[in-house]
Structures are given as C-alpha cells and as structure tokens.
Chains A and B, each alone.
Chain A
Amino acid sequence: MGHTIAEKIFAAHAGGKPVRAGDIVVASVDFAMVHDGRAPNALRMIAALGVKNLPFAAKTAFVLDHFSPPPNIEAANTHRAMRAFAEQHGAVLYDVGDGICHQVMPEGGHLTCGDLIVGTDTHSVTYGAFNALGTSVEGTDLAAVMLTGKLWFRVPETIRVELKGALQPGVWAKDITLSMLGRFGAEGVNYRAIEYAGSAVSAMEIDDRMTLANHAAELGAKAALLEADAKTIAWLAAHHARAPRPVKADADATYAESIEIDTTALAPQVARQHQIDDVVGVPEIKGKKINFALIGTCTNGRLDDIRQAAAILRGQRVAKGVRMIVTPASRQVYLAAAREGLLEALTRAGASVEAAGCGTCVNITGHLITGDGEVVISSANRNFRGRLGNDKSEIWLGSAATVAASALTGMITDPRDVAGGQWRAE
C-alpha cells in the first residue's frame, strides 16, 4: 500500500524507513518559528534546559508580530528579551512591523517543498501551501528543537479533499474553508492532516492557497498539505528558498476519509457571530448592518486580498459610519500594495492602513475597541465572543472580497453584487 504526503515527509525526516499513520517518530526539523505570544513560555523552557549552546538557533525565527506594536510594558519587555536572545544565539529576528510569522517565514525563504516545519502557533499549517508539513507546537517542543533539531511526532491520519470544478470570480479559498467548517464543525478533523487537491486548487494563486492551508487550523488539522506545481516552484525560487523536494501522495495511499467538493456552485460564505462553524451563504444574509470592516491577519492579509479590496473601493467611499482597518500581512506585502497604488485607493476610500503585523485579529494592540452591540465583519480566522475585547459586540467572518463589499454598502454584501467584486476575472 502507498503513502500519504504526511507519511512520506515524516519518513524522510525520521531515517527514511516507511512510516504509517499512528506511528510515533523522532524526526529532524528543517526550520522552527516562535512568536511573541508564546515566547515567554518557550524562553522559560529553554532556560530549564540549562545549556549554553543552541545549535538550531540559526534555523529558528523569532517573530514579533502579535504585540505589534507592544501595548504595555510586559509586551515591550518580552520583545526586549526576544531581541537579546536572538542576537546572543544567532536566531533569525523579525521585528515589529516586519509582518506576521506565517507570511515572513515563506517570504524569508525559510521553507521549501518536502520540509518539516514547526511553529508555536496553531496557524503553522499555512506552510502546507508550499508542500511543506507545518504544524503547531508549544514551548517545550521549541526548546527541544533549538537544542537537538529534532522532535517527536505522531504520524497523522489524512483526509483527502478533492476540490473539483472552478471557483466563481468573487469566491475565494476562505469561502471553501468556511463551508467546510459549517459541514465538519470546528476542530472537526482534530489530529488529522488534510490533503487538498483538484482543479480548484490548481487554479488558485499562491496567496489563496496560503489561505486554504492556513484556515485548516480552525478545522483542527495537524497539517494541511497541497502538492507542488510550477506556481509553487516559481514562488519559492523568487523568494530564495532551498531547493524544493516535492512530495506527492501515492495513488494507493490509505486515507481516513476521501471527500469531493464541487466548488463551482459555491457562493461567498460568512461565519456568524461567536461561532466559527455557524456558517451561511452570503446571499442568505439580508440587511445585516456592520460598523467595522477589517482586512488583514495570517488568513487574508496578502496582496491578492488587498488588490481585491482596492478593486471594490477604488474611487468609492466606505458607507457612512463604517470604520475600516487594513493591515498588510508583511512589510513586503505593504510595499507591493503601496507600489500598486492600492493603499492610496483604500485610504482615499476611508480605510486606515496599519503597519504590518497580526493587527486587529484579536484585541491586543487596543487599536480596535468595539462599542456595545456593534458588528464587525473581518477577514480573520476566529470570531469567539469577546475576541475584540467587547463581549457585547459581534464578529462575523468572510473573505477580503466580502469584507470590502460590506464596507462599501454598510451591510453584509455579496462581492459579486458590487463593481470590482469579481476582480480576479476582470
């Protein structure tokens, strides 16, 4: 019997002998990441090791993105400690304003096809967009990797998801994942890996593939893996990644489940307030007023998201009373959006563009405090009650296209119903 992508990547990193789902292996890691949200715990665990040298430090990124900029002294001191530690041990540092960990990791050329990558963040699954197995770990794991370059893993079962047909213009990977969350529930694939394949995946640009892999975290996936193609290889080469080692599943691989989803008829989707898996098609939402529109985060803060938003809002003005924040995922994304005139178009339309980082995904910086009863439409990945600091407000989730269309009209709006909302086809 053949093997899944996850089985092959773990086998290749654990001595080369074939492994099966359920096996526990000690595997070599190619690159690691820790961000400022989990660094305090990780640094405590590293201190507990009681060693002077951390041989893997040069292959570990320290990313200051969550508390960006730091809203209090404690966070500022965490940043101070991370900068000093990175300097002392030779770790790779991404400072405040450089961007979100899951954007700067691939942009920095730190991962390639076939890699095994760990990060102290649930959305480390994003690296699967590049045919790398990315998965989330905690502080003790990070300490172990920085010392040994290795970690223990349970080889996951895999669900194969074939995305057939072609997404309509105005419908994005975000909408696919939201519809899957409605079907499987939050954490519905806990512990398992997802392999995404099919014509709709092949047609996606890298930015949208990153959304697809990233948002699998809300499904509880241990990893979300795409095969590599010419687009993947070209993107990695442009970002000076190491030589790719593409990994494909065997035709007779063993899957826990295989499902097919026809994406052709899929409408834009939103998750309603408080529950990521309370999902409904945007056409079914009538007259739901919004007060805030947020574009950004590791799920949808990339260049294509900002291009799509600008296509809707260029020469227009956000609806009266709506406040809009756009946070590019990284400094590179910010610069590219500036060069293309997108930031000017969005700023003229009434949006505030903020420095790259995790931004208003969760109430950390204090830049977005919602009033009682106010409604946020956000391109982020989670909408738990109170995530933006006020449990009397609502957070709804949609694609960047849906957020921009909603900002324009002041109510939750299908991007296909507004000019520019089908930008990809224009």
Chain B
Amino acid sequence: MNTRIKGRVHVLGDNINTDLNCSSKYLPGKDNAYVAQHAFEQVAPGFASRFRPGDVIVAGRNFGINSSREQAVHILRAMGVGGIAAHSFGRLFFRNTINNGLPAIECDISGIADGDEIEIDLAAGNLTVAARGISRTVAALPPAVQQILAAGGLIAYLREHPDWQPA
C-alpha cells in the first residue's frame, strides 16, 4: 500500500535541512501543528499553504541533511506528504522516512517541475511523469524495506512481526 508514490509535485532544492525547516529544534515549545504550518517557509515561501494531502516532495541532493530529528517525518506525515523523491538523502532522515512509513526514493529528478503529476512504483522500480514523457527505471526498494513501508512503519511492522524475520 505504501510502496507507491503518486501525486502533485512540490520541488525543493539541495541540502534542505529538516531540523531547521521542519522541526521544533530551533523553535522550543512549538508543537507539530505550528511547525507544519511553517514547514520549509525559509526555502520555499508559502509551501505549507500550497501543499495538499497526497502531494509529493521532489528534492535535490542531501534532502534532510544534518542530525535529522524523527519529528520532521512525523510532521511530514501529518501534512499528508505522499512520498519524497530526491537525488539523495541525509542518511538518518532516510531511515526516519522508512521507519515511519513515508515512501522515499533516491532517483534522477531532472526535468520534473512544480505541479507535475508524478507516479513512482517503489516495488517495481519505475518513475513516470506522463505529461512530460518521463519514464525512468529507478532502483526498487528491497523487500525488507517494502515490508516496513507496507505495514505503515517499523513500529507497526514489529507489532505484527515481533520476531522480525525479513523476507
């Protein structure tokens, strides 16, 4: 279920720091709802007001770089982010997306623009932006990760499989 990304694209740039742009690390006392309303404001003014549940973030290099609080992914999920496709991810951020059931994939994002309709099948390993004639093969996520995403995250997966014998 969570191994497919499909929705309207919002493009963000390189080296987006989610601690800075999507957490309360530097906003002590602010709750997730407040941070969500201001997510990515510094790098993409008006981002939160344009974003609709199910929309997809497409980003450049090192998305989620730095110490990468898990809270950022909790906020992205609360915003209804349908998935993230990026050239590359900060490693801890990538862990946090999978662990929280948010589909994310490293891929070639060239030629994709704001407002495009994108579709990525993480199990089959293909990316399509039909209106632009883009159809690419991307590295499929391995079964162990697909299982976690399909369950909706690692906690949900382990509730069903407390002995964790991956496929």
Contacts and interface: CB of A to CB of B under 8 A. Distances in A.
A190 B144 contact: no
B80 interface: no
A55 to B, nearest CB: 10
Nearest to B148: A152
B95 A187 contact: no
A299 B98 CA distance: 30
A358 B100 CA distance: 30
**Residue among B69, B91, B98, B153 having the largest count of chain A Cβ atoms under 10 Å:** B91
A147 B158 contact: yes
A141 B155 CA distance: 9
Interface in B97-143: 98-100, 141-142
Interface in A150-205: 150, 152, 154, 187, 190-191
Contact of B162 (A137, A141, A148, A220): A148
A122 B69 CA distance: 11
**Residue among A23, A41, A140, A220 having the largest count of chain B Cβ atoms under 10 Å:** A140
A150 B62 CA distance: 26
Contacts of A136: 67, 92
A337 interface: no
Given A152-B154, A187-B62, 12 more contacts: A23-B142, A41-B69, A41-B71, A122-B67, A137-B92, A138-B69, A138-B95, A138-B96, A140-B96, A152-B144, A187-B90, A190-B90
B159 interface: yes
Nearest to A47: B155
A152 B96 CA distance: 12
Q: Indicate the size class of the contact surface on chain A.
A: 20 to 34
Given A49-B159, A147-B158, A187-B62, A26 B91 contact: no
Interface in B75-101: 88-92, 94-96, 98-100
A122 B88 CA distance: 19
Given A138-B92, A140-B155, A148 B163 contact: yes
7 contacts: A24-B144, A26-B164, A144-B158, A148-B164, A187-B90, A191-B88, A191-B89
B164 A49 contact: no
B113 to A, nearest CB: 26
B158 A148 contact: yes
A328 B30 CA distance: 34
Contact of A26 (B15, B94, B99, B144): B144
A154 B95 CA distance: 9
**Secondary structure dominating the interface of A:** mixed
Interface in A366-390: none
A150 B92 contact: no
Interface in A326-360: none
A86 interface: no
Nearest to A153: B95
A17 B52 CA distance: 45
B114 to A, nearest CB: 26
Interface of A: 23-26, 41, 45, 48-51, 122, 136-141, 143-144, 147-148, 150, 152, 154, 187, 190-191, 220, 222
A141 B141 CA distance: 19
A137 B96 CA distance: 9
A181 to B, nearest CB: 15
A164 B155 CA distance: 46
B70 interface: yes
Nearest to B161: A148
A190 B70 contact: no
A44 to B, nearest CB: 10
Contact of B99 (A122, A141, A154, A222): A141
Given A138-B69, A140-B99, A26 B166 contact: yes
A45 B70 CA distance: 11
Contacts of B141: 24
Report, nearest first, the 6 A-B pairs whose CB atoms are least far apart.
A140-B99, A138-B70, A24-B142, A148-B164, A26-B166, A191-B91
B20 to A, nearest CB: 10
Interface in B34-67: 62, 65-67
A150 B70 contact: no
A172 B90 CA distance: 29
Contacts of A25: 144
